[in-house]
Amino acid sequence: MIDVHSHILPGIDDGARDMKDALEMARLAVADGIRVMVATPHLFKHKNGDLGAINEKKVILEHLDRFRDRLAAEDIALEVLPGCDVPLSEKALSLLEEDRVMTVNDGNRYLLLELSHFAIPPSLEEICFRLQSQGLTPIITHPERHPLILERPERLEHLVDLGCLAQLTASSLTGGFGRQIARVSRQLVKKGYIHLLASDAHDPRHRPPRLSKAVSELSRLIGRERALAMVTHIPEKIIKGELAT
């Protein structure tokens, strides 16, 4: 399986605290059947968007190099690729224009985009169009955890119609974020709004990199073939920068 959303790089955001945690997460991922993981630290190290601490391309690549060396030294068979968890904000968009934001596998083709919890901006349509005209497809992360989508799931349909892809978080489907989010997750999957399943792992204990349990639940909802595609063929196309749907 391929996991396109994880906070596995140590000491760079609110994900893995240190190398020990990161290696433990890598071992858990491999044991779960994950062979490729995109490391997607938050663009802003601190929640307040402090411009002194930006996880820009070169920072992510430096951390990734160190992590890959340790994985090789520990003989852990996990391929880790660069990525970034990008909040939808003016600041993030201007950094993107300056070519400082890491896209999925540095391919300049897919971008993980997290909507602000407080609002879906009226300019979102225009932002999507602008990104797409630069050849970038936004992947909306965990729409099932967004209060405005929980309230009206058809809001996601609109984003998908605009050409965005949508990534569901594995533990949302298996109840890790509560019953309401699990229910909305099933609803979004059944309506066909979801393209990808990812772990959004943050640590080895509370939010570990596990996909298999959610894939079983997905299989029950939409059949094994379509469920597996969400953790194999579709993410594979995304990391290769090919058309995914």
* Rounded Cα–Cα distance for residues 221 and 184 (Å): 13
Tell me the window of 52-60, 77-85, 184-192, 204-212 that interacts with Fe ion (CB under 5 A). 77-85
d(CA 4, CA 101): 16
DSSP 157: H
The Cβ of residue 48 has, within 10 Å, a number of other Cβ atoms equal to 8
Q: What angle do CA 107, 207, 138 make, to 5 degrees?
A: 30
CA distance linking residue 127 with residue 124, whole number of Å = 5
Which of 56, 125 has the CB closer to Fe ion?
56
Comparison of 153 and 209: residue with beta carbon closer to Fe ion: 209
Quote the least distance from Cβ 75 to Fe ion, whole Å. Answer: 28
Q: Which is nearer to Fe ion, 32 or 200 (CB)?
A: 200
DSSP conformational letter for 75: T
Q: Does 144 bind Fe ion (CB under 5 A)?
A: no
Binding to Fe ion by residue 13, rule CB under 5 A?
no
Nearest distance in Å: CB 55, Fe ion: 12
Rank residues 176 and 222 by Cβ distance to Fe ion and give the closer one. Answer: 176
Question: Which single residue brings its beta carbon nearest to Fe ion?
Answer: 85
- Contact flag: residue 200 with Fe ion (CB under 5 A): yes
Q: How far is the CB of 40 from Fe ion (least distance, A)?
A: 6
> Position 12: which residue type?
I
Nearest alpha carbon to residue 49 among 5, 90, 11:
90
Cβ–Cβ < 8 Å for 145, 177: yes
Shorter beta-carbon distance to Fe ion: residue 32 or 85: 85
The answer to whether residue 85 forms part of the interface with Fe ion (CB under 5 A) is yes
Span near Fe ion by CB under 5 A; candidates 24-32, 45-53, 85-93, 178-186: 85-93
Q: Are 6 and 40 in contact (CB under 8 A)?
A: yes
Report how far residue 112's alpha carbon sits from residue 4's, in angstroms, rounded to the nearest whole number.
9
Return the SS3 of 198. Answer: strand
- Binding status of residue 3 toward Fe ion by CB under 5 A: no
- C-beta closer to Fe ion: residue 200 or 203: 200
Question: Which range binds Fe ion by CB under 5 A, 50-58, 145-153, 160-168, 194-202?
Answer: 194-202
Interface residues with Fe ion (CB under 5 A)?
Answer: 85, 200
